[in-house]
Structure 1
Amino acid sequence: MTGIEETRRLLFRNVRIFDGISDHLSNGDVLIEGNRITAVSENPIGEAPGQQTVEINGDGRVLMPGMSDVHVHLVGNANTFVDLLGESESLLAANTLAEAGRMLLRGFTSVRDMAGDTAGLKKAIDRGSFPGPRIYPCQAAISQTAGHGDFGFVYDTPSALGGNQSRAEDIGFMRVADGPERMLAAVREQLKKGASQIKIMVGGGAASMYDPLYTLQFTPEELRAGVRAAEDYGTYVATHVYTDAGIRRAVEAGVKSIEHGHLASEETVAMLAERDVWLSMQPFAEADHHYPDPDRADKNRQICNGTDQVYGWAKAHGVKVAFGTDLLLEPQAAPLQSTMVTRLADFYTNIEALKMVTSGNAELLHMAGERDPYRHAKLGVIAEGAWADVLLVDGDPTADLSVLGDPAKNLVAIVKDGRVFKNAL
């Protein structure tokens, strides 16, 4: 059975529990009432006379917290570059809602959206109008002129020089802002529109047309202005950046989460641990993205070639590492999200990987403080009082992480916010 099923009391019996924190599975029952987990017990949980209870007998299957992906682009992942340039915003939103539902059925019950107008979609999902994960919006990512988020054409006059803003800005995907004053306005604009945290582009990227990877983007003064505006709202800044120089400039400005970092040196990776800064990495493979021109294809190759060593250094130095996917502009590639989870086994033990995609990522999500829309309970754990986001797995991901690579087959029950969105038993 698939679809949306509501119940007041949901009881998982006879399950092996990975709680998101422990190194071993435990046996027992898990009770969900409303949208919270209310009991986790080694002993059978009894009936509640007068209350409707739906029981799911796990028959020894593994029950784990819903997964999270802390670097998604719901709008960008659900639409092509041509869609973003030429289609109506209503179609872009419809494609995005459809992909949000598919993402939930892959077992991702929470996501941090890192560029795109998703605050309204978040409200619709939270109200129960559509299936989808919990969304932590950044709203538009902020870029300098000729930076990673400048989607204007080379012959367009920059908006800072009196030109019109690009289509990417019109649809709330990017915001180009030069100078500290415009940076302040851009950050405040995203907070006004519902951003949980702020995304700023601090270096070059593969998808962008004008900026080599080595470029430093935004001056220290501009970055500090953005960080200050975010902190005044009780939240933090995450930055797109790959290189040593860019990472160090971002950290010195007060940024709390480095997105990517694939070209960092070991010294810089160690600095992240010393400064208590998150590394939001993606286990990229070169074939994950396709670029029609040799320049962007080469940038993508350089980024992917740095993946293995940066993961190794991050683990060796005890850096707080989060999992994300950063799939973009190729909707047919969206199912790679599940495959990328399984790649974590190349760098971490299965238990370490599972902790990362559950309680570890949740720690980063909750760093939004008062801007955290789901701060009233814990995410990423199976514990009394936590949000009722759980997955029943046919197979043991603590022994074989690859079972998460086929969610249609192996995720036999998916519950988010206490609602059953899939029950194949």
Structure 2
Amino acid sequence: MKKLRLGGLTAGLLLACAGHAQTPVTAPATAPAPAITVLKAAHLFDGRSGSLTSPGLVVVQGSKIIAVGANAEVPAGAKVIELGEATLVPGYIDAHTHISYDHEDDWAQGFYEGMLRFPVEQSFHAGSNAKATLRAGVTTAREVGAGDFVDVALRNAIEAGLTEGPRMLVAGYAIGSTGGHCDSSPFPPQRVNPSGPLQGVCNGPEQCREATRLQMKYGADLIKICASGGVLSESDPVDVPQLTSEELRAIIGEAHNWNRKVAAHSHGDAAAKLAVEAGVDSIEHGSFLTTPTLQLMKQKGVYLVPTRMTQVWVLDKADTYPPKIGAKARAAGASHSAMFKNALKIGTPIAFGTDAAVYPHGINAQEFGDMVELGMSPSAALLTSSQGSAKLLGIDKETGTLEAGKFADIVAVPGDVLQNIRATEKPVLVMKQGVLVKQAE
């Protein structure tokens, strides 16, 4: 019976193939070329030269820029968007966000409400935050820590076109030691299970290596560590080291083996120095960094992601936090201004990052103006995104500047941006990879 069935099947396949062979073969239809859009404005900041050119013109086809500059040819039939007295700038690249979390003015209420949400519910919140972030001009975001792998799910949903948001590079759970800034709050262990390596909490080099591997297994594009204490955590001092040199080297070495970069949350100077010596790629916040550490970062090409606007925010809101957190906010905020000015003087590499969720989502561009208020030029502030963050994230060959061949990640802001850096906070047009996601009427 097996031979008969096999023979019948074989005969049927032969007949089907014979019949198929007699069907004429037709060439597949050629897909039409993607539509062309031309953006015209009074000015253009290309993100590479550091200067403004006038007039500004960018030609976009599909997801890419095909021509830039006043002499660029406008193809027949192209859709032309006239933006008047505006400046075209590269889409913002925010290297420090928490889009997967919500901002609440009442810290305690927001914290405990968030604890009660199922991951799927939180994903809907994250999607709303992502849309607000994109419409604010952030076309690429690095998400440096989220619970329940909500950030991985959000990245995947955006890439699949299921929801609107920036291109995202995500970290999964941030990694740190027991009781540290990356650990959960000190709930009674009989009521809330303590976190372990899957949730990024580790002790000793081997367990920290395991925690790193777990984040990468479940989809992390990068690794975030808590090298020092933090402000908005309840049990730890703000500036002390929380990972040993051996733990740092295990995490960073494992991540780099997988070609993943490592961002180190560190307000404290000693912790940042340990992380830099271990090979970290960026120091986030850096409130208490000293001259020798900033010089070492410059020497090794380690970026400072200062999240300046968050320091301004928490210092202003310090009285609304629980007393221990308020005291840490005042200490970090008071030290941060002098540190930032010192970093400028030394020439430490700086990348644009904001710590979104500490403040309301969608006002990321305030970071540009806040850095300018501390002595950075408007041009240099814009370059912290187009050059700093793009290179830190390893995507500078794809985006960050307005050049032919790059993704059409473009923002238009009112007037001359170098005369008014706060214009970045009010984009009149946002385009992500050639798709128009916001245009003022």
- TM-score bracket for the superposition, by shorter chain length: 0.7 to 0.9
Calculate the TM-score normalised by the size of structure 1.
0.87
Within-5 A mapping of 1:228-239: 228-239=253-264
Match of 1:419 in 2: 435
Instruction: Give the whole-Å Cα distance in 2 for the aligned partners of 1:195 and 1:290.
Output: 36
Query: Residues 164 and 133 from structure 1, CA distance in 2 versus in 1: closer, same or farther, beyond 3 angstroms?
Result: same
Structure possessing the higher radius of gyration over alpha carbons: 2
Measure, in 2, the Cα distance between the counterparts of 1:144 and 1:272: 24
Match of 2:35 in 1: 8
> What's the secondary structure of 2:267's corresponding residue?
strand
**Structure 1 pair 95–268 and aligned structure 2 pair: CA distance change class (3 A):** same
Alignment partner for residue 305 of structure 1, among 312, 331, 334?
334
> Contact (CA 8 Å) 2:132, 2:361: kept in 1 or not?
no
Q: Which of 304, 329, 343 is residue 370 of structure 2 equivalent to? A: 343
Aligned residues between the structures: 394
Contact 1:205 1:213 in 2 (8 A): yes
Identity %: 29
Q: 1:324 and 1:14 mapped to 2: Cα distance?
A: 27
1:122 is matched with which residue?
155
Instruction: Give the CA deviation at 1:211.
Output: 0.8
Alignment match of 1:151 (pick from 184, 199, 202): 184
1:141 counterpart = 2:174: yes
Q: Does the residue aligned with 2:65 lie in a helix, a strand or coil?
A: strand
What TM-score results when the alignment is normalised by the length of structure 2? Answer: 0.84
Shift of 1:249: 1.1
CA distance in 1, matches of 2:351, 2:61: 30
Once the two structures are TM-superposed, the CA of residue 413 in structure 1 deviates from its matched residue by: 1.2
Counting only pairs closer than 5 Å after superposition, residues 318-357 of structure 1 correspond to structure 2 as: 318-328=347-357, 333-346=360-373, 347-357=375-385
Q: Aligned partners of 1:22 and 1:77: how far apart in 2?
A: 36
Q: Residue 412 of structure 1 aligns to which amino acid in structure 2?
A: V
Deviating beyond 6 angstroms after TM superposition, the runs of 4 or more aligned structure 1 residues are: none
Q: 1:319 to 1:401 in 2, by over 3 A?
A: same
Residue equivalent to 1:69: 94
Distance change >3 Å, CA 111–CA 233, structure 1 → 2 = same
Pairing partner for 2:128 from 98, 105, 114 = 98
Query: What residue number does 1:41 align with?
Result: 69
Deviation at 1:352, TM superposition (A): 0.8
Cα displacement string for residues 350-397 of structure 1 (whole angstroms, at most 9, x for unaligned residues):
11111112222111111xxxxxxx67x421100011111001112221
8 Å Cα contact 1:359-1:379 kept in structure 2: no
Q: Secondary structure at the match of 2:365?
A: helix
Shift of 1:75: 1.5
Amino acid at match of 1:128: G
Q: Name the Cα RMSD after superposition.
A: 2.2
Partner of residue 266, structure 2:
241
**Superimposed CA distance per residue, residues 238-271 of structure 1 (whole angstroms, 9 cap, x where no aligned partner):** 1111122111111121112111111111222122
Structure 1 residues 98 and 290: alpha-carbon distance in aligned structure 2, compared to 1, 3 A threshold: farther
User: By how many angstroms is 1:43 displaced?
Assistant: 2.0
SS of structure 1 residue aligned to 2:329: helix
Counterpart contact for 1:202–1:217, Cα < 8 Å: yes
| Equivalent residue number for residue 119 of structure 2 | 89
Structure 1 residue matching 2:400: 3-state secondary structure: coil
Long gaps (5+) in structure 1: 1-6, 367-373
TM-superposed deviation, 1:36: 0.7
* Displacement after TM superposition at 1:78 (Å): 5.2
How far apart in 1 are the matches of 2:112 and 2:367?
26
Kept in 1, the 8 Å contact 2:92–2:137? The answer is yes
Residue 207 of structure 2 aligns with which residue?
182
Do the aligned residues in 2 keep the contact of 1:15 with 1:57 (CA within 8 Å)? no
Alpha-carbon contact 1:73-1:328 (below 8 Å) kept: yes
1:419 Cα shift? 0.2
Contact 1:70-1:112 at 8 Å conserved across structures? yes
